[in-house]
Chains A and B, each alone.
Chain A
Amino acid sequence: MSGTTPSRAAGPAGFAGRKPWWQRDRTRRMAGRLIAVAFLLLFFLFPIYWLFVISIKTPDEIYSSPPVWIPDGFHLDAYIALFEDGDVQAIWNSLLVASVSTVLALLFGTMCAYSLARYRTGGIHLGLWIISQRMIPPIAIVFPVFLLYVMVGWVDTYRGLIVLYTTFNVPYVIWMMRGYILDIPLELEQSALVDGCNHWQVFVKVVFPMVRSGLFATAVFTFIFAWNDFVFALIVTRDAVTTFPVQITHYFGAQSTFWSKISAMSVLGTLPVMIAVGLLQRFLVRGMTMGAIKG
């Protein structure tokens, strides 16, 4: 409410003969805030800019000192190299693994969330146990899982990674979807039951459509998590299945570092995420803070 229409809050300049000091103070404050925002944007966006810009620089520009702030043109050699050398396979692998695990996590997680939300299955204990799974750091999970996978021969397989991501994401999905389900008025489901639907039909026909937007938002963050992950992929895969973060680390050599490739692969690996976030700004707060705050 304060400061909504500065152009109209013009004060009686003529009446008192001078510009009101309070008005000047407010404009000055807004200007100060915007300058601070500009600095913040610079700080937070520059490294991303820098990494991206390397992907289109020529080798001379990359290794020049003092550094070249704005490159001359678009040199797409790095990208072409990625495609020709087949490194792009990593992006494809990431896409496959992240998508499948997201779908599975959403499916299992929403089902479980419904059971917890509407039936209070397992009481508070089950819920707490599930949440605690999310809080364990990956390093504590990944090593045991690695041992398990060695035992069953799932190391370096797609299904191994997919199952791992799914399992790690399910608690997050449950936590989020539970909130969205609880937001639906109970009467809708009850009237469907009275109308003759069985529980499965209620779940599929009434609940699922109503939480569509919640599903969307949760899907994005689940996907982002699986997409960005490094630790799980590093440990559980070798050569057959390489996701793009792992691929990037291959470009860091003891002798030489292929900055162009690092940069180009980073761009390819980040664009999808940026687009997703841009499209779903509305759900940003709720999704990122795990539903702690309802945006």
Chain B
Amino acid sequence: MAHLSINGLHMYYGDAHAVRGVDLEVPDDQFTVFVGPSGCGKSTMLRAIAGLEDIGAGTIAIDGEVMNDIRPRDRNVAMVFQNYALYPYMNVFDNIGFGLRARKFDKQEIGRRVHEAAQMLGLEDYLDRMPRQLSGGQRQRVAIGRAIVRNARLFLFDEPLSNLDAQLRDDMRAEIKRLHQEIRQTMVYVTHDQIEAMTLGDRIVLLRDGLVEQEGTPFELYDQPATKFVASFIGSPRMNFIPVELVGDPGAPAVRFDADTQLALPSPGGGRYDAHIGRELLLGVRPEHMRHTREDGTRPGVEVLTVLVDLVQPTGSRVYASFALAGTEVMAELEARDVPSVGDRLEMLVDMNRAILIDPDTERTL
């Protein structure tokens, strides 16, 4: 259990300004995920927390104690690397126990802890195998074992699942989640995969170009994205962005797609849309909020839109139908049994309660 505080952090990677002023609080015992596209600074920041990188300016503090000048081995953190970083010339037992041997624990204690960790991870039968005899998933578990055996106060994961194939990744994801439930320690996890972030994190920090774009619970980022970037990064398939004109009266706004099409918009509290009436904005609607069934027809905020399907992509459990609207391609998610054909005219139910409006100049959500 450890509370991590990052204040005004700046970091440089060669000449590049990798982290440009990040302020962050990672709460005790929570599973926090740093997520973002390549080059956003997430790995760099993680390595700074571990002490493997130099800090340009700012502080990193664990439990109130500033860590900037303290060497990695004295920080009491544990780290799981992307390529597992197992020691190839030692067997699994020695790999896991390496840190304990380095800190001069006695043999009995080492044995006890290693066996405990091995049991938790299902590795008891592999203790005398060498790393090269293990599969990718097993190696990753050994790396995790090495981290948990030291009872560190902070756990760092640097894209640990990126080297595994898809099926294995799903399994290991569940294992890591289960691990956090069992040993409730503060964990910071870095990934570029938003699905991993959403499923694993208690809190998500979305980074972009060295700055925090948004932080919050997974649902907050999904349902109330602060910027267009967050809205498009989170959620798969991607959110649709349609250029519209905000029309109507204060308190009763509507979005107009073209001369004939117009949909009413539920007015948010405080009338914050009112000031923008008459402007060209972007409407953000997720594919899963556009349906073809008739069940929700009478809910307030749900509008009907007639569209011409021009592309159909079935996936087995769902069908993605694309159509043109206001000059852009829009994708909607339909039930599998509702497979339309190209050229069909469909009546789409759009849940405008879940739609967002984005100011195209600032790219922020209104």
Contact = CB atoms under 8 A, between A and B. Distances in A.
Direct interface between A and B, CB < 8 A:
yes
Interface of A: 1-5, 8-12, 15-16, 20-23
Contacts of A1: 52-53
24 contacts: A1-B53, A2-B53, A2-B54, A3-B54, A4-B54, A5-B12, A5-B54, A8-B12, A8-B54, A8-B56, A9-B55, A9-B56, A10-B56, A10-B57, A11-B68, A11-B69, A12-B58, A12-B68, A16-B66, A16-B69, A20-B69, A21-B69, A22-B69, A22-B71
B186 interface: no
A5 B66 CA distance: 22
B14 A11 contact: no
Pick the most buried of B14, B54, B59, B68: most chain A CB atoms within 10 A of its CB. B54
Contacts of A16: 66, 69
Contacts of A10: 56-57
A3 B12 CA distance: 11
> Dominant SS at the A interface?
loop
Nearest to A18: B69
B70 interface: yes
Contacts of B14: 4-5
Contacts of A3: 54
Interface string B42-61: 00000000001111111100
A112 to B, nearest CB: 35
A8 to B, nearest CB: 5
Contacts of B12: 5, 8
B261 to A, nearest CB: 53
Contacts of B68: 11-12, 20, 22
Contacts of B53: 1-2
A245 B261 CA distance: 94
Contacts of A2: 52-54
Given A9-B55, A22-B68, 11 more contacts: A2-B53, A3-B54, A4-B54, A5-B54, A9-B54, A9-B56, A12-B57, A12-B66, A21-B69, A22-B69, A23-B69
Nearest to B51: A22
A11 B55 contact: yes
A239 to B, nearest CB: 58
Contacts of A21: 69
Contacts of A20: 68-69
A3 B54 CA distance: 8
Interface of B: 12, 14, 52-59, 66, 68-71
A15 B59 contact: yes
B19 to A, nearest CB: 12
A248 to B, nearest CB: 48
A83 B52 CA distance: 61
A13 to B, nearest CB: 11
Contacts of A5: 12, 14, 54
A10 B70 CA distance: 14
A231 B54 CA distance: 54
For the complex of A and B, the 6 pairs showing the least CB-CB separation, nearest first, are A9-B54, A20-B69, A22-B69, A8-B56, A8-B12, A5-B12
Given A4-B14, A5-B12, A5-B14, A22 B70 contact: yes
Nearest to A26: B54
A20 B52 CA distance: 16
Contacts of A22: 68-71
A15 B66 contact: yes
Contacts of A11: 55, 68-69
A11 B12 CA distance: 13
Contacts of B59: 12, 15
Q: Which of A2, A5, A8, A16 has the most CB of B within 10 A?
A: A8
A10 B11 CA distance: 11
A21 B54 CA distance: 14
Nearest to A22: B69
A37 B53 CA distance: 26
A16 B55 CA distance: 15
A1 to B, nearest CB: 7
Most chain A beta carbons < 10 A, residue from B55, B57, B69, B70: B69
B46 to A, nearest CB: 14
Contacts of B66: 12, 15-16
Contacts of A9: 54-56
A17 to B, nearest CB: 12
A12 B57 CA distance: 7
A42 to B, nearest CB: 32
Nearest to B54: A9
A12 B54 CA distance: 12
A3 B52 CA distance: 11
A20 B68 CA distance: 8
A213 B56 CA distance: 40
A159 to B, nearest CB: 52
Contacts of B69: 11, 16, 20-23
Interface centre among A3, A12, A16, A23 (most CB of B within 10 A): A12
A5 B12 CA distance: 8
A10 B53 CA distance: 13
Nearest to A16: B66
B8 to A, nearest CB: 9
Nearest to B66: A16
A132 B59 CA distance: 60
Contacts of A4: 14, 54
Nearest to A6: B54
Nearest to B14: A4
A15 B69 CA distance: 12
Nearest to A15: B59
A218 B210 CA distance: 46
A293 B52 CA distance: 28
A206 B16 CA distance: 40
A8 B59 CA distance: 14
A19 to B, nearest CB: 9
Nearest to A20: B69
A12 B52 CA distance: 17
A1 B14 CA distance: 8
A11 B8 CA distance: 12
